[in-house]
Structure 1
Amino acid sequence: MLTRKSRLKDVYANPIGRDILDRAALQLNISKKVIANPFIRNLRLKTLPKLLKRRLSEGFVDTLLTLLNTEQDTAMSGDGKMQKAWWKEAVFYQIYPRSFKDSNGDGIGDLQGIISKLDYIKELGIDAIWLSPIYDSPNDDNGYDIRDYNKIMTEFGTMEDFEELVIEVHKRDMKLIMDLVVNHTSDEHEWYQKAVKEPESKYRDYYIFQDKPNNWTSFFSGSAWNYVEERQQYALHLFSKKQMDLNWENENLRQEIHEMVKTWLEKGVDGFRLDVINYISKRNGLPDGSEDIGRLMGYYGAEHYFYGPRLHEYLREMNEKVFRPYNAFSVGETPGTGLEMSKLLTADYRYELDMVFSFDHLETPGHTRFDEYQYDLGYLKSYMIYWMENYGNHCQPSLFYENHDNPRMISKINADPQYRIVLGKLLAVIQLTLRGTPFIYQGQELGMVNQDFHTIEELRDVESLNLYNKLCKTMGKKEAFAKILAGTRDHARTPMQWNNQQYAGFSDGEPWIRMDEDYKYCNVESQLQDEDSILHFYQELLAFRKEHSVIYYGEVCFTNKKEKDLFIYYRKDETETLCIEINLGSYNKKRKKCPQGVRLLSNYAELSPVFLRPYEASIWKQGNK
């Protein structure tokens, strides 16, 4: 049990403590070397406020201790042989249905549109599809506010369309996973309506109600509480005002969720991506969030639910009762968790989740998604080295840059169009040759970039619109829009660019969201005809993975760890050795020597023995085997 007299080295030995200190260093742009300093490591926990260079209250340490003492387990050694599994060898492709392909001309993507493009996905080399929510929803948060788990959103089609999709996906030897959104539902869900209108029914505590709100804030701006007139109480929503948090303390609720999940598995679904699944357990009593942590993180209360006291219990229960009996794959979206907490969520001997998405690599130290800055690939290098060397063989890393919640990666790194193609290919090399399971987001294989939105009226994302209104209270509209434009989720939600015809071949009607004219130059049809395109490079790399099992289960060995902008690593097993050589900079980098062996793939056609050119990335095969 940690106390105020515990030393920082004791805190660092705790999985939550290590991840929190690492995250604090990241947030404040402090080197991890500071934490590793022997003098710092021996400081008492009560001195932490001084270390973080903030005037923090005495209550800060007590809040931190409560969180740290939630977790008594530590992960086993990462040594040992990796267990083989289909999802460790697969490459996933995320589809955002609203923006993928429209089959009926209403400007909204749908299930028949997806079916019409399954051959494209298969020919790309994909093994499994992750489908963002298609359930019935009022669309306050584009489908992540579910009104009925057992019904298909009318705009997307019918249950018959979905059943056809499952058949057609499996016919092509691919698998299908769905988004499982069970931290919250829409306020239009039957459960919530009955909880409000029938306060004596079994639904009365399916959600979280309190007589008085605490100080928790929503991730989508403002208080996390709605006043409910019928109950004369407040109801919790960590996201939009129409996304009401479920009360996982209620055993009947958990049983209903389990039965709902089984229904989809019995339809042939192969697994799930679990939306913000680490938020499902809230600390008993829902105490106020720390003012100090709130100021540091930008929102209040997260320390009481991002890694709640019953999280592992709930996940093991769902694994035992639902996932294991159906041999279902699970990957959890787990914002805020670092490497040590992720081990405890995904280690194969703990039977909770198969994998998680951790997001600390998406922004460089000291930055957030809504900051306008140029992403440093040197940080991506250090992040990947840390995870590859420390996650262990009991856990499988997820490899991704983009999804429906984040801007396009090429735009974040270098928006100069002259580097677009080589940079898109460089990102593919890293993602598809490190150890882990890659998740490609629709359009990433084309090198799609951020859209050129002109006004706030062109945006559709509830998070962006709420934040814009909040920012306008403290700054001008122009400055507020510029900040929103840096990080809006709508950059990733514009229609898939199929050809250079009107509306990019996405629809015969005007799309639900504005798209600029990038589709005239970047689209599937033109890239299929261009052997030097990013799309062709992805096809080659995906085929390459299937021919080299060393990428699935081989060792990862890094060299030149401290050399700026040089990223070199080896994939080794008993059959072969691959060398991956990358220049992370936008300038020529003088070679010390070329790797020995045969260059198999590169984003530059000709080899330069003198320089690594801007963003050059190559795969070499070494030895005679």
Structure 2
Amino acid sequence: MSSQQSQHEQKWWKEGVVYQIYPSSFKDSNGDGIGDIPGIISKLDYLRELGVDIIWISPHYKSPQVDMGYDISDYEDIHEPYGTLEDCERLIQATHDRGMRIIFDLVINHTSDLHPWFLESRSSKSNPKRDWYIWRPAKYDENGNRCRPNNWRSNFSTPAWTWDEDTQEYYLHLYASEQPDLNWENEECRRAIYDTAIRFWLEKGIDGFRIDTVNRYSKYPGLPDAEVTQPDEETQIAVKYTTNGPRIHEFLTEINDILAPYDVFTVGELPCTPKQSEVMEYISARAKQLNMVFNFDTVDLGTTPGDRFRLKPYGNVDFKRELLKWQSAIADSDAWTTVFLENHDQGRSISRFASDLPEYRVQAGKMLAMILGTMTGTLFLYQGQEIGMINAPLSWPAHEYKCIRSVNHVEKIREKTNNDPAALCEALKILQKVARDHARVPMQWDDSPNAGFCSAKVDPWMSVIDSYKTINVADQMGRKDSVLEFWKRLLCLRKEYKELFVYGKFQLIEQDKDLMLFAKYGAGMKSLTVANLSSETKKWEMPSSMAVSDMKLIIGNMTGALDLLGPYEGRVYISTQ
């Protein structure tokens, strides 16, 4: 097997390490308690030293911030607390000046209800932009009561339809009521999206897009009622009718045609698409639609599709299966994949998939780093992941959670249980595990008040969590045993041995259910990644296909007996023979 070569064409966006920045929480430069674009510019040298090649900026566009910038009111302007259009142009140039590249979020399934397009659309039924959004008349029951066009639930656990009193119709929104869905069936609407949201920024020199909810633009014809799977609920999960619709690939081909003249790449957010065959339709190079997508099989572990807060058990066997399955799926294809465990919508990976207890936290962070850093695909890190940030504690009160999903969930529990303390306590336990807020707390730069994110004299837009006192950049910078310096070493090795770790052929090796072992082959070399996913010491053995004498340990997070792995221990071996 050592003679196997990668079939994947080498590209800068396959080899590049991508670092996602959540603007409001990264670095405040002007003392208002909100992160901003000048703050990002001030940390570009830090990111370059870390080993980052590409930065991804979460939505920074003009927005009323109902959903943290995913409700855009002007695609060609900047959210005022983040800075100006000129600041954004400086960021693009400063990133390029350091030899790095930059991608932006592309949010085009919906706009803000304050976007001029929607203001026109809702102004009258005869307005030329009426059909740019999805409007439907009311239905009526046998008693003459007004009913919504169907029983769909939005992704924020509310009805997916809102009544407009002025024009006496409902409009569709798969997210908040302030985020009306655009009507992609309207060609004029699509052309406007392409001009204002895509070409405008390509001409300013950005290097690609992370495309939000990339499979929701085409809805199922007729918008039928969803199957009733939760009889006690007023609305029903409608994933079947809101994702992967009949024209979605046509629309993505149109977008790709616009991008083709530029040296850029796309990564799509692809929710609710578990079938491998369906995913491959999006990421096959021959299809010319998307370069790669985020598959959420791993980060969705323990949650119910369409209902993040309805938890179910999972174990290390499930974690291994979901994390590694795309390694094999793309092996003999022209498709490409992503490698990630964190983003702005997920709890912290150490807390979710390992242990954030003080005695295990550091080695667990390093162990997960070794797994990710040696997997085939484009590697994505989220701000704070490189220092091992963890979830907020269980003691965090309900009022500290700011995410619209978290707020809605707590409010729903209050209403259903009449403020029952036990029910609210259980709701907070669930939020502590899977709320999006854990990724959105301020970045922990040092151990000064407000974690160095903003001045101690102001209140940050979202509270810092107490872990900043022991988990911060300043403490870890230059300290050889830190998670930060470990990530730096690992990213250097990933680049040095890119034929193995970025492009290499993957082979899963089964031993203990709590052990993750996989080999990589490429350019006449081979590697072995071995990781203990548990808090118990485990026995393991070098695979028979790999002679101990040939395999050199190039990085690990502990030192111990060859045949034993301590709690959350990881090792990477390599052979160039």
Whether TM-score is above 0.5 comes out as yes
8 Å CA contact 2:524–2:576 kept in 1: the answer is: no
Q: Give structure 2 stretches of 5+ with no counterpart.
A: 139-148
- Shift of residue 342, structure 1, vs aligned partner: 1.2
How far residue 110 of structure 1 moved from its aligned partner, in angstroms, is: 0.1
SS in 2 for 1:472: helix
Residue 371 of structure 2 is matched in structure 1 by 430
**Matches of residues 80-229 of structure 1 in structure 2 within 5 Å?**
81-212=7-138, 213-229=149-165
Q: Which of the residues 495, 499, 502 maps onto 2:446?
A: 499
Gaps of 5+ in 1: 1-78
Task: Show the counterpart of 1:619.
Answer: 572
Map of 1:601 onto structure 2: 555
What is the 5 A alignment of 1:17-56?
Answer: none
Q: Residue 410 of structure 2 aligns with which residue?
A: 468
Query: Deviation of residue 588 (structure 1)?
Result: 0.8
User: Measured at CA, do residues 364 and 151 of structure 1 come closer, stay the same or move farther in structure 2, by a change above 3 Å?
Assistant: closer
Q: 1:238 aligns with which of 165, 174, 178?
A: 174
Where do 1:53-92 residues align within 5 Å?
Answer: 81-92=7-18
Q: In the alignment, is residue 359 of structure 1 matched against residue 296 of structure 2?
A: yes
Q: Using the alignment, how far apart are the partners of 1:301 and 1:375 within structure 2?
A: 25
Separation in 2, partners of 1:316, 1:540 = 39
* C-alpha contact (below 8 Å) 2:369/2:487 kept by paired residues: yes
Aligned twin of 1:68:
none
Give the SS at the match of 1:417: coil
Higher helix share: 1
Which moved further from structure 2: 565-574 or 424-433?
565-574
Q: Deviations over 1:376-397 (max 9, x none)?
A: 3332222234222223431111
**Residue 144 (structure 1) shift:** 0.5
Structure 1 residues 542 and 466: alpha-carbon distance in aligned structure 2, compared to 1, 3 A threshold: same
From 247, 263, 269, the counterpart of 2:200: 263
Deviation at 1:80, TM superposition (A): 8.2
Deviating more after overlay: 273-282 vs 299-308:
299-308
Q: Which of 371, 386, 391 is equivalent to 2:330?
A: 391
CA distance in 1, matches of 2:309, 2:360: 23
Deviations 1:426-457 (A, max 9, x none): 11111110111111000000100011353222
Give the letter aligned to residue 406 of structure 2.
S
In structure 2, how many angstroms separate the alpha carbons of the residues matched to 1:197 and 1:409? 46
SS of corresponding position for 1:254: helix
3-state DSSP of counterpart to 2:125: coil
Written as runs of structure 1 = structure 2, the 5 A alignment for 1:257-406 is 257-260=193-196, 261-292=198-229, 299-320=236-257, 322-338=258-274, 339-364=276-301, 369-370=308-309, 376-392=315-331, 393-406=333-346
For residue 352 of structure 2, what is the amino acid of its counterpart? K
1:90-149, Cα deviation, whole Å (9 max, x unpaired): 110000000000000000000000000000000000110110000000000010000110
Q: 2:313, 2:392 → 1: CA distance?
A: 17
Contact 2:124 2:167 (8 Å CA) reproduced: no
**Cα distance change, pair 307–505 in 1 and its aligned pair in 2 (3 A):** same
Bigger mean CA deviation after superposition, 504-513 or 571-580 = 571-580
Count of aligned positions: 542
- 2:529 and 2:571 in contact (8 A); partners too: yes
Greater RCO between the two (CA within 8 Å, min separation 6)?
Answer: 2
- What is the distance in 1 between the residues matched to 2:167 and 2:86? 39
Paired with 1:363 and 1:458, the residues of 2 have a C-alpha distance of 23
**Could you tell me whether the CA contact under 8 Å between 1:371 and 1:487 is conserved in 2?**
no
Cα distance in structure 2, aligned partners of 1:274 and 1:406? 17
Shift in alpha-carbon separation, 1:432–1:448, aligned structure 2, 3 A: same
Q: Quick check: 1:375–1:412 contact (8 Å CA) kept in 2? A: no
Distance change in 2, residues 1:582/1:485 (3 Å): closer
Counterpart secondary structure, 1:474: helix
Once the 2 structures are TM-superposed, how far is the Cα of residue 365 of structure 1 from its aligned partner? 5.9
Could you tell me how far 1:82 is from its partner in structure 2?
A: 1.2
Once structures 1 and 2 are overlaid, which stretch shifts more, 354-363 or 385-394?
A: 385-394
Q: Which amino acid aligns with 1:326?
A: Y
Deviations 1:510-558 (A, max 9, x none): 2101122211111001001321000000000001111112222221122
Aligned partner letter, 1:386: K
Distance 1:242 1:539, change over 3 A: same
In the TM superposition, residue 478 of structure 1 has moved relative to its aligned partner by: 2.7
- What is the deviation of 1:198? 4.0
Identity %: 40
- CA distance in 1 between counterparts of 2:472 and 2:6 reads 44
Q: CA RMSD in A?
A: 2.0
Local SS of the residue matching 2:528:
strand
Cα distance, 1:282 vs. partner? 0.7
Q: Which SS does the other structure have where 2:8 is aligned? A: coil
Residue 521 of structure 2, aligned match among 569, 572, 591: 572
Q: Deviation of residue 366 (structure 1)?
A: 6.7
What SS does the corresponding residue of 1:244 show, helix, strand or coil? coil
Moved more, 464-473 or 532-541: 464-473
Q: Which deviations, in whole Å up to 9, do the C-alpha atoms of 1:480-509 show, x marking residues without a partner?
A: 333333322111100000001111110012
Structure 1 length-normalised TM: 0.84
Aligned twin of 1:38: none
Of 489, 492, 504 in structure 2, the residue corresponding to residue 554 of structure 1 is 504
Which letter does structure 2 place at the counterpart of 1:462?
A: I
CA distance in 1 between counterparts of 2:122 and 2:309 reads: 36
Aligned partner of residue 416 in structure 2, secondary structure: coil
Is 1:371–1:486's contact at 8 Å kept on the other side of the alignment?
A: no
* Distance in 2 (alpha carbons) for counterparts of 1:429 and 1:81: 24
Alignment partners' CA distance in 2, 1:366 and 1:442: 23
Q: SS where residue 180 of structure 2 aligns?
A: strand
